[in-house]
Chains A and B, each alone.
Chain A
Amino acid sequence: MTYRNPPTTPRKSATFDDYTLSEIRRAAATGIYDIRGGGAKRKLPHFDDLLVLGASISRYPLEGYRERCDTGVVLGSRHAKKPIELKIPITIAGMSFGSLSGPAKEALGRGATLSGTSTTTGDGGMTEEERGHSKTLVYQYLPSRYGMNPRDLRRADAIEIVIGQGAKPGGGGMLLGQKISDRVAEMRTLPKGIDQRSASRHPDWTGPDDLEIKILELREITDWEKPIYVKVGGARPYYDTALAVKAGADVVVIDGMQGGTAATQEVFIENVGQPTLACIRPAVQALQDLGMHRKVQLIVSGGIRNGADVAKALALGVDAVSIGTAALVALGDNDPRWEADYNELDTMAGAYDDWHEGRDPAGITTQDPELMKRLDPIAAGRRLANYLKVMTLEAQTIARACGKNSLHNLEPEDLVALTIEAAAMAGVPLAGTNWIPGKNGF
C-alpha cells in the first residue's frame, strides 16, 4: 500500500461564500445588477432578540378571554377632521397595482376590511378593486404621481406622502417592461412594455420647509378632512420624525430595512438603511422631545410577523405596525404548493423574490391573466383576515400576561433584550442585568 499524505479538508471562504461567488459569476455573465423584491434577507437584530417579562408578584395579569384588552387605535387626530379609527393596530402597507395584480389588491382590501383595519395604495394609482373592497384606504402620494388625481384624493380615507421606504431609502420605484400591461401603462401614462424607473425625489418640493407647504396644499384640496401620513425609510429616524412633525404630519410611518419592495437592486436592499428595531426608539424619542408622543401617531413596518412582534413594537412606543411581506404570504405568496413552478424559475418556495419578472407562480405579483387566476381574492382575503386576527390575539395574550388592558399600555419596562445589540437599539436592559448600553455613561 502506498502512503498518501493526509489531505486538507476543502475549505470555503466565509467572505467569498457560495452566494457571493454565484453573484460575481452572474454579474460577469449579464452585466446587470441583481434586481429583486422583498426586504433585507441578512440576519439583523430584531424583535426575536427581545423578551416580554410578564406578570410577577409586583404586576398582576389579566384573565385571558375574560378581561378586556383593547386593540383599537385612532390615527390622524392631530389636524384631520376625519381621523381613521382602526379596530386593530396592524395595517396593510402600500403595495402598488402594477407590482401586484388587481385581484391581489382586492384580496388585501377584503382582508383588511374584515379585520377592521386599513390598506394602502402604492406607486401605481388607486384601482376600483381596492377602493371598492377597502373600508379604509390610505392613498399614497409618491414622487412619480402615477394616477394621482383630486377625485381619488378625496375618496381616500387618508393620504400618505411617501418620502422613502425601508428597502431603499433614497431609491425610486422600478417596474420592468414585462409587467407594464395595457392597464398598468394607462394608469401610469407610460408606453407599454418599457422599463419604468420612477423618480426618487418629489417633483415639486425639496426639503422640510417645502414639505410643510405641500402638506398645506393637500389639506386645502381635501378640506382638512383626511389624516396626512409621512412615510420615510429607516435612515435617520430621530430627525426624520422631528421634521415630519414640524412639517405638520398627523402620522409618521417608518419602514425599516426588512420592509419589502416590489423591485430594486439587491445591493440597495441589503446595504442601505437601518433595521426596524434600530428605528423605533429614536423616532419615539423625537416625538417625546417635541411633546407629541401619542398626539402624532407612529407606525412602524419592516419584518413584522406575529403578535409578539406587534406587542414588542407597541411596548417600545409605536401606535401601530404595518405589514406587507407577511400579508402577501397570507394571501399565498411563496406557498410550497407551487414548488414545481418555483423550481422551473431556478428558485424554491420560501426564496422566490423575482417579483418584478411578472411570472409569480402564486399569481400575486403578476399581470399575466393566466397566473392571476390562481389567486381567488375572496379566499385570499379571508386568509389575510384570519392571519390578522391571530396576530391580534397573540399580541393580546402577551399584553394580558403583563397586566395591560390595552395593547397601547405595553411599555419598555415590560421588555428585556437577549443581546447587547438589541439592548442598545431598543433601550431596554440586557436580560438578567440592569444594563442598557449607552445609558448612564456606559
Chain B
Amino acid sequence: MPAINISKALDQGHVQSRASRAFDLAELPLRELNQALHNLTPGSNETAWEVLNPKGSHSVAVGVDQPITIDVRGSVGYYCGGMNDGSAITVHGSAGPGVGENMMSGSITVKGDASQYAGATGRGGLLVIEGNASSRCGISMKGIDIVVYGNIGHMSAFMAQSGNLVVLGDAGDALGDSIYEARLFVRGKVGSLGADCIAKEMRPEHLELLQGLLDRAGVTGVKAAEFKRYGSARTLYNFNIDNADAY
C-alpha cells in the first residue's frame, strides 16, 4: 500500500482488523480498492483483505496479480475477480454476471449463486460456485477449472476450448455447443447436448482428474463415479457442407 495516513485511512474506512485489512466500499470508492490491490508487490505482508459492503458493485477485485486472500462480505455485481491472477477470492454472497472472467490463476469461491457467464474465457485457476450458476457458465473457457455444487443453465460451455467444468447438479439445454477440447462432468441430468457435444467414456484417468477437482473444491460425500463425462465429437473441426445443419 502506498503512503496512507493511518488515522485518516481509519476515518475513511481502511480498517485494520485482526490480521486482515478491511476495505469498506460504503466509505471508499471502488477505484481506491482496486488501485490498492494493484499496488501490492511480491512479498507484501498485506496478504489478507476483506471487502465490506460490496452491495452489488461491479468489478470488485479485478486484475489482482498477487497471492493474497480477499474475502468479500456480501454480494457483487458484474465481473468480480475478473482476470484474477493468483489471488484467492471468496464471495460471501452471490455473484453477478461474469464472475472470474478470464481468470489466469488462483481461485474464486462464490458461497451463493452465480449469474450468467461464470468463468467466461478463463485460462487457469479454480472457480467454485457453491450454489447454482446461470446460463453460459464456462463459455469459451480456455483452461480454467469450474466446479458448481448446484445446477447450471443453458448454453453452458459454449465453444469451450480447454479446462474442466464439473457440475454436481443438473445442466440446462445445449450443453457444450460447438465445444473444442474442454471436459465436462455432470452428475445430474443434462437438458440437451449442443452441436458436436457427446457423452464420452469415463476412463480411469478421468476419474482420477475429477476426484482431484472435487477434493480441491472442498466437495465431500460425492464420488467421481457418480458423474458422466461429455466432450467434443470433433465432427465440426473441419468444415464439411454435409454438416451444415449443425451450424
Please give the residue numbers on chain A whose beta carbons come within 8 Å of chain B beta carbons, in ascending order. Answer: 30-32, 144-145, 148-151, 153, 176-177, 189-191, 194-195, 199, 203-205, 210, 213-214, 216-217, 220-224
Contact = CB atoms under 8 A, between A and B. Distances in A.
Contacts of A32: 239, 241
Contact of A216 (B38, B58, B83): B58
A189 B142 contact: yes
Interface of B: 30-31, 34-35, 38, 58-59, 62-63, 65, 77-79, 82-83, 85, 97-98, 101-102, 104, 116-117, 120-121, 123, 136, 139-140, 142-143, 158-159, 161-162, 180-181, 237-239, 241-242
Contacts, number: 102
Given A150-B83, A220-B63, A145 B102 contact: yes
A229 to B, nearest CB: 19
A204 B117 contact: yes
A30 B244 CA distance: 14
A148 B121 contact: yes
11 contacts: A144-B140, A145-B121, A150-B85, A150-B102, A189-B142, A189-B161, A195-B238, A203-B140, A204-B98, A214-B78, A223-B35
A213 to B, nearest CB: 5
Q: How would you classify the secondary structure of chain B's contact residues: helix, strand, loop or mixed?
A: loop
A336 to B, nearest CB: 32
Nearest to A176: B239
A129 B237 CA distance: 29
A30 B242 CA distance: 11
Given A145-B140, A213-B78, A214-B79, 17 more contacts: A32-B241, A144-B140, A145-B121, A151-B85, A176-B239, A189-B143, A191-B181, A194-B238, A195-B237, A199-B140, A203-B158, A204-B117, A205-B97, A213-B79, A221-B82, A223-B35, A223-B38
B62 A195 contact: no
Nearest to B124: A149
Q: Which of B123, B140, B181 has the most CB of A within 10 A?
A: B140
A32 B30 CA distance: 51
A190 B180 CA distance: 7
B59 A216 contact: yes
